[in-house]
Amino acid sequence: MNRVNIYRAAAKEQTAVSNRFIDEYMADANDAQLKIYLFLIRMMDANLPTCVSDIADKFNYTEKDVLRALMYWESRQLLALDFDAADNLVAIRVLSLDNPYEAPRTSPRITPVLSFIRPASMNTGFTAPKPASGAEKDSRHDTARHDYSLDELKRFKSNEDIEQLLMVAEQYMGRQLSHSDMQTMLFLYDQLHFSPDLIDYLLQHCVERGKKDFRYIEKVALSWHEQGITSAKDAQSASRKYDKVVYTIMKSLGKTANPAPKELEYINKWTKEYGFLLDVIQEACDKTVMNTDTHRFAYADGILSKWYQAGVQRKADIEAADSSFKKQSENKKRVQKNDTRVTKNGFNHFTQNTYDFDQLEETILSN
């Protein structure tokens, strides 16, 4: 097929679109997101006012569709949305793609879509099941998943909250939800008692990290449930704190890339299973970096495991634990030195090359 030349017939009444938008953002956006973004560029260039209801009328969308599209572009940092104290949208700022100095490129403020689609105080006519009266146990530990019957699914779908949540989930996932996906959504709402706003933020949190697997989403939800997180604000604070901890540990071990899954396992082990404070973990990282250039996570894990066994809880406990460990090591060497019983055999004539992790940990802890 012959090439086609594209040229401009007129130089007026036109809206310019950044080449970066076409090259880097357009392919990932859906129809509604593209139309709404281009319309905002048009209105901005013409210095004309608009509002959510006007945009919805223009393209025959619902206001919920418009708000979700705006939130999508805010998450991609092409828009900055301003809200008042009641979470009402009061201003939209279109950020320049060609001038990175126009505004700080920090993460956008997360405001769940549902909080300004419908007032949180509106009665939906449905109340999520509560634990039986007299049950004093902590509901955070009652997380056995229940599979819902067809009748239960029908009853849930008649609830406005559930209907809105399923629509939001499909928007985030970019596909129709499967039966298993809907079971997970109901588990979050009905059994974990997550609010619509918290589920909305959970989905956005996972999708922004490239995770659209509902098994992963459920795992994050259970972690939040165990932490007693009950609002999107609490979840955002916890996520920021965790991200800061991960970044600090990676930097302390001389790593600049995002952590690999195995590295995250180590970090979760140190922070959650062992419950170490960040300064204790940093101390172990410092000892590791000073003594080895390879297998740093494994060596740091060896140090922290010994400190955990020694009952270290804070940085001030480390010196006593290391001193005790050093004495044990010296006693062990003394016993070995006094033990002159050596079995002679043909294999003793060969040099044995081994990597003694205990010896390396001993060297590290004694420094």
pLDDT over 70 (residue 352): no
95 burial via Cβ count (<10 Å: 0-12, 13-18, 19+): middle
Could you tell me which residue, 317 or 108, shows the higher pLDDT?
317
Of the candidate ranges 83-92, 140-149, 232-241, 263-272, the one whose mean pLDDT is the lowest: 140-149
Average pLDDT over residues 158-186: 85
Return the DSSP state at 290.
Answer: H
Rounded Cα distance between 195 and 201, Å, is 10
pLDDT of the residue at 1: 53
284 close to 300: Cβ distance less than 8 angstroms: yes
**Residue-level pLDDT at 168:** 85
Res 270 pLDDT > 70: yes
Mean pLDDT of 96-124: 42
What's the rounded mean pLDDT across residues 45-65?
85
User: Stretch 31-60: mean pLDDT, rounded?
Assistant: 87
Average pLDDT, the chain: 75
**3 state DSSP class of 277:** coil
230-236 long-range Cβ contacts below 8 angstroms, 24+ apart: 230/195, 230/198, 231/195, 231/197, 231/198, 232/110, 232/112, 232/115, 232/195, 232/197, 232/198, 232/200, 232/201, 235/198, 235/201, 235/202, 235/205, 236/110, 236/201
Is residue 147 within 8 A of residue 233, CB to CB? The reply is: no
pTM over 0.75: no
Q: Give the pLDDT confidence of 294-345 residue by residue, as tens digits.
A: 888 999 998 999 898 888 888 888 888 888 888 877 777 777 666 655 444 5
pLDDT in tens, 10-27: 545 788 888 888 988 888
pLDDT of 350 over the 80 cut = no
In this prediction, residue 126 carries a pLDDT of: 33
**CATH 1.10.10.10 in the chain, residues?**
19-111
Top CATH class, 19-111 = mainly alpha
As a whole number of angstroms, the distance between CA 339 and CA 337 comes to: 5
- Of the candidate ranges 105-119, 145-159, 160-174, 245-259, the one whose mean pLDDT is the lowest: 105-119
The confidence score (pLDDT) of residue 338 equals: 67
Q: What pLDDT score does 212 carry?
A: 87
pLDDT at 128 over 50: no
Give percent of the chain above pLDDT 90. Answer: 9
What pLDDT does residue 38 have? 92
DSSP 139: G
| Whole-number pLDDT of residue 4 | 59
Phi-psi category of residue 108: left, alpha or beta, with phi > 0 → left and psi -120 to 50 → alpha: beta
